[in-house]
């Protein structure tokens, strides 16, 4: 079995070991043994002077098999150390021939070989930090010896890979082989064998450090991004060990730190996110045989903030897009914003002038709906009101090709209703809920309407990935996955302010938990007026004076709409986005408590956290039970990528498993009794899982979609 995972072949005087463990050649059980056996066979084979290690398929080795960080490694199976020892003990030079990718343990295996050659288009890196631990098979000790401390530190702490030419320039690889890769690698190996050596190992190279201050500088640089996390700092400690200790002591230190991190909640959460991202693409009714439609041109209706950002996504993906507005003033305004956004990317060095010009040339502004007549896909991004959207779709319906895919960028509305008004477009209407700023945010909720065809859904998912988005399928319900849950989160935050808990305290608790921003600061950013006008439209008169909106109503009456007016729950200095607490909110809190007859505020930080987060879990469970999310891990991805939930906590549903679903269910029932707001109506799925001591991950496993 092992030799089928690693094939042995002799080409002249070179033994070629090919790792063949689809899909990505991870170092699963059997692979290390196969490599060790191959090396042993090559060393016995008198005809062999050198060994080339190569990967079958799309790449070299993608690292350790990540599944095995949660599974026992089979008794007696060889591991990374055995492979590395086999290379180091080999009297014949071993050449790693890297094509596609060498990541994590893949690069570590390669760096333990005597030589490395790369093919063009290859990327090599140590992405372990993204899984919550530092490299654990010598990467933090060998990479600084090959690439220098500064470059190694950067690669290991950020997890970002480098390209083949960079790998050669940095000294990670010895040569770039342009064509006939395996043959070229064999010639390289033969030459090195013929040269007679010495075949130096990375472990024997010195570590040169010019500037000892780089470690603290790196700690400072990552402080914001790595808030609450352990792994990025662990990576720095490991590279420091490479500088301060001899090689073997450095390896021992790396192992100690790796072991401490790999079993942490942070790593479990990040591994959950890794597999969640891969699972999100698996949709019932869609598989590899589902045909995809070609998207060669697009239309966007509405050149506001969202429409402009969406058009930029098309242009960035190289797809020509026509953006339509009602009048030239609005169109010009929208195009000016797009141009400004691209300009900012250029001045920050994130985009070249050529890329800027290319992108702008792909966007055609228009005030004529007819200009969308040829578009393969049209996205509506106008004002969030059903009547307005329906009127716009009636116009789109008039001009669009019969086979065009039509999507609405609504964040709440019933897209089935929109689709029902266009019976001739059966199966071609769905939702694409982008997040603001639409050209930046990775999340896209793809809303599956009742009749959308598998082909059109699959096409939109593929289009989203082409745009660099993470598409998550959601069902048609008010607010889909993210905003529906958000109502509970914002709702509780607003209720707590009415109870006299200061906005800055609630926001501090949530920021310390790891959220990018606290809920009140987010509400100020989004604009308090949006909810206010919705409440007025829906309830009229006094019906809007419900608990949870009383203070927001008073703020809006005073024209305090949040950041855009310089005041909301906080005060904002002119031109600043930094929230400053406002004493007037104290008076409003006092008035609210009086109005609703509430006692003095009495909540601990832990209770504030519960009241913010448990509704997310409870409503998430309801959405899952209703089938409006395909899996709990999709909900986690929505919150991480659209709402600033810390990835290192794995998303709300994964985090709930750490807290204990029984504990959360008990609290939800208690808050339901005491407070009674809809976000506390206990989810039957939460109850069921809690009573059977299962987690949402267990639920996902039981309902796995192929
Ligand atoms: C490590 O190496 C630790 C070391 O320091 C040693 C410690 C002792 N394991 O991404 P894709 C699966 S930690 C298991 O869609 P792509 C993936 O789940 C590791 N499975 O393909 C998916 O399965 P499914 C460090 C893995 O072409 C399928 O392969 N290495 C692994 O878009 C296809 O994946 C990394 O972090 C794995 N290592 O991208 C690299 N990798 O079809 C992680 C993938 O059932 N991998 N799978 O859903 C990647 O970055 C990308 O997969 C790669 C290919 C770029 C390689």
Q: Tell me the pLDDT of the chain averaged across its residues.
A: 95
Nearest C-alpha to atom 28 of ligand 1 is from which residue?
A: 23
Nearest C-alpha to atom 48 of ligand 1 is from which residue?
A: 278
- Cα 128 to averaged position of ligand 1 atoms, centre (Å): 11
Rg from Cα positions in the chain? 28
pLDDT of residue 73: 96
Q: What residues are annotated to the active site?
A: 108, 128
Atom of ligand 1 at shortest distance to CA of 58?
27
Q: Is 24 in the pocket of ligand 1 (CB under 6 A)?
A: yes
Nearest C-alpha to atom 50 of ligand 1 is from which residue?
A: 62
- Beta-sheet strand order (sheet of 123-125): 101-103, 123-125, 162-163
- Cα 26 to averaged position of ligand 1 atoms, centre (Å): 7
pLDDT tens sequence across 332-356: 999 999 999 999 999 999 999 999 9
pLDDT of residue 316: 96
Q: Is 109 in the pocket of ligand 1 (CB under 6 A)?
A: no
Atom of ligand 1 at shortest distance to CA of 126?
25
pLDDT of residue 705: 66
Residue 540 has pLDDT above 70, yes or no: no
Nearest C-alpha to atom 56 of ligand 1 is from which residue?
A: 62
Nearest C-alpha to atom 9 of ligand 1 is from which residue?
A: 65
Atom of ligand 1 at shortest distance to CA of 105?
2
Length of the chain in terms of residues written: 706
Query: How far apart are alpha carbons 390 and 371 in whole angstroms?
Result: 19
Atom of ligand 1 at shortest distance to CA of 65?
9
Angle (nearest 5°) at CA 507 between 506 and 510: 90
Q: Is 479 in the pocket of ligand 1 (CB under 6 A)?
A: no
pLDDT tens sequence across 79-127: 999 999 999 999 999 999 999 999 999 999 999 999 999 999 999 999 9
Mutate to test the pocket of ligand 1, among 23, 67, 158, 256 (most ligand atoms within 8 A of CB): 23
Q: What is the dihedral of CA 26, 32, 36, 41, to 10 degrees?
A: -60
Mutate to test the pocket of ligand 1, among 32, 60, 66 (most ligand atoms within 8 A of CB): 66
pLDDT of residue 536: 81
Nearest C-alpha to atom 46 of ligand 1 is from which residue?
A: 62
pLDDT tens sequence across 266-282: 999 999 999 999 999 99
- Cα 347 to averaged position of ligand 1 atoms, centre (Å): 35
Looking at the DSSP assignment, which residues form a beta bridge with residue 10? 15
pLDDT of residue 467: 97
Burial 366-395 (b: 16+ CB within 10 A, else e): beebebbeebbbbbbbbebeeeebeebbee
HSE (side-chain half, CA atoms, 13 Å) at 353? 0
HSE (side-chain half, CA atoms, 13 Å) at 150? 8
Nearest C-alpha to atom 5 of ligand 1 is from which residue?
A: 135
pLDDT tens sequence across 178-211: 989 999 999 999 999 999 878 999 999 999 887 9
- Cα 8 to averaged position of ligand 1 atoms, centre (Å): 24
Residue 542 has pLDDT above 80, yes or no: no
Element (H, E) at 332: helix 328-347
CB 8 within 8 A of CB 53: no
pLDDT of residue 539: 63
Q: Is 445 in the pocket of ligand 1 (CB under 6 A)?
A: no
**How much of the chain exceeds pLDDT 70, in percent?**
98
Residue 662 has pLDDT above 70, yes or no: yes
Mutate to test the pocket of ligand 1, among 63, 67, 143 (most ligand atoms within 8 A of CB): 63
pLDDT of residue 2: 45
pLDDT of residue 1: 42
Mutate to test the pocket of ligand 1, among 19, 22, 24 (most ligand atoms within 8 A of CB): 24
């Amino acid at each position: 079995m092992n030799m089928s995972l690693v094939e042995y072949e002799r080409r002249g005087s070179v033994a070629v070991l090919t790792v063949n463990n689809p899909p990505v050649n991870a170092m699963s059980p059997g692979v290390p043994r196969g490599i060790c056996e191959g090396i042993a066979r090559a060393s016995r084979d008198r005809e062999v002077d050198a060994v080339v290690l190569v990967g079958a398929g799309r790449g070299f080795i993608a690292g350790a098999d990540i599944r095995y960080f949660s599974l026992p490694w089979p008794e007696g199976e060889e591991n990374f150390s055995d492979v590395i020892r086999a290379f180091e003990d080999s009297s014949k030079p071993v050449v790693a021939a890297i094509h596609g990718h060498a990541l994590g343990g893949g690069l570590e295996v390669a760096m333990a070989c005597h030589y490395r050659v790369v093919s063009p288009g290859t990327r090599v890196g140590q992405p372990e930090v993204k899984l919550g631990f530092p490299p654990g098979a010598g990467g933090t000790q060998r990479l600084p010896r090959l690439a220098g401390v500064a470059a190694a530190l950067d690669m290991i702490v950020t997890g970002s890979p480098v390209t083949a030419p960079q790998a050669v320039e940095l000294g990670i690889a010895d040569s770039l082989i342009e064509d006939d890769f395996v043959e070229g690698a064999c010639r390289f190996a033969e030459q090195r064998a013929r040269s007679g050596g010495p075949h130096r190992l990375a472990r024997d190279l010195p570590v040169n450090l010019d500037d000892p201050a780089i470690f603290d500088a790196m700690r400072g640089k990552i402080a914001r991004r790595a808030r609450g996390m352990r792994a990025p700092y662990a990576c720095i400690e490991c590279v420091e060990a490479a500088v301060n200790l001899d090689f073997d002591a450095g390896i021992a230190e790396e192992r100690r730190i790796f072991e401490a991190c790999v079993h942490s909640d942070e790593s479990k959460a990040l591994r959950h996110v890794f597999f969640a991202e891969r699972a999100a693409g698996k949709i019932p009714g869609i598989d590899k045989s589902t045909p995809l439609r070609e998207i060669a041109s697009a239309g966007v209706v509405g050149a506001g903030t969202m429409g402009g950002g969406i058009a930029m996504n098309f242009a960035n993906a190289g797809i020509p897009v026509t953006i339509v507005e009602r009048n030239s003033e609005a169109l010009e305004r929208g195009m000016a914003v797009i141009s400004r956004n691209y300009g900012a990317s250029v001045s920050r060095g994130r985009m070249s002038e050529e890329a800027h010009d290319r992108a702008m040339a792909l966007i055609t502004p228009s005030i004529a709906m007819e200009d969308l007549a040829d578009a393969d896909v049209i996205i509506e991004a106008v004002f969030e009101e059903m009547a307005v959207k329906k009127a716009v779709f009636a116009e789109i319906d008039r001009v669009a090709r019969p086979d065009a895919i039509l999507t609405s960028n609504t964040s709440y509305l019933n897209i089935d209703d929109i689709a029902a008004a266009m019976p001739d477009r059966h199966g071609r209407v769905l939702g694409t809920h982008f997040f603001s700023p639409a050209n930046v945010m990775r999340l896209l909720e793809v809303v599956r309407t009742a009749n959308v065809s598998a082909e059109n859904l699959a096409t939109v998912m593929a289009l989203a990935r082409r745009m660099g988005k993470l598409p998550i399928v959601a069902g048609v319900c008010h607010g889909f996955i993210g905003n529906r849950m958000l109502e509970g989160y914002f709702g509780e935050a607003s209720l707590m302010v009415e109870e006299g808990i200061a906005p800055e305290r609630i926001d501090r608790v949530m920021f310390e938990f790891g959220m990018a921003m606290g809920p009140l600061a987010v509400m100020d950013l989004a604009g308090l007026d949006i909810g206010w006008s919705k409440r007025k439209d829906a309830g009229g008169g006094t019906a809007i004076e419900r608990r949870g909106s009383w203070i927001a109503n008073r703020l809006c009456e005073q024209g305090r709409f949040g950041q855009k007016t310089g005041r909301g729950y906080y005060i904002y200095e002119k031109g600043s986005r930094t929230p400053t607490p406002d004493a007037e909110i104290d008076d409003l809190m006092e008035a609210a408590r009086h109005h609703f007859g509430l006692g003095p505020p009495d909540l601990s930080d832990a209770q504030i956290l519960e009241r913010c987060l448990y509704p997310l879990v409870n409503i998430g469970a309801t959405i899952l039970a209703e089938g409006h999310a395909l899996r709990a891990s999709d909900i986690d991805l929505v919150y991480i990528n659209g709402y600033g939930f810390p990835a290192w906590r794995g998303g709300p549903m994964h985090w709930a498993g750490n807290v204990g679903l029984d504990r959360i269910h008990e609290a939800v029932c208690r808050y339901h009794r005491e407070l009674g707001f809809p976000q506390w109506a206990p989810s039957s799925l939460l109850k069921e899982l809690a009573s059977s001591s299962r987690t949402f991950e267990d639920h996902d496993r039981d309902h796995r979609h192929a």
